[in-house]
Amino acid sequence: MWVVAGQDVPAQRQGVASGIAATAQQVGAALGLAVLVMVATAPLAASAPADAVREATVVSARMRRIPLAHGR
């Protein structure tokens, strides 16, 4: 990928080409992960979206050992 990104780019612009390629790689990975999570959790979200978000927040807070206002 890096060879193709830098192909036919002048030497003074190689850093820009590399930066664009790295950014594209990171954005693609983030979007791909978001789509996979969306597909994997679609059955859960259809049943009770508010409960799922609340439960995810509680689990995340517990993992980080953050006290919650409602005492869970």
**What is the sign, positive or negative, of the torsion defined by CA atoms of 39, 45, 50, 55?**
negative
What is the CA angle 34-3-9, rounded to 5?
Answer: 105
pLDDT digits (tens, 9 = 90+) for 15-53: 999 999 999 999 989 888 888 887 877 776 666 666 767
Predicted local distance difference test score (pLDDT) of residue 66: 61
6, HSE (Cβ side, Cα atoms, 13 Å)? 12
Consecutive H or E run containing 32: helix 14-47
**What pTM, to 2 d.p., does this model score?**
0.54
Tell me: pLDDT of 8 over 80: yes
Identify which of 1-15, 19-33, 55-69 has the greatest average pLDDT.
19-33
Please name which of 35, 30, 34, 52 lies closest in space to residue 43, comparing C-alpha atoms: 52
71 band by pLDDT with thresholds 50, 70 and 90 = low
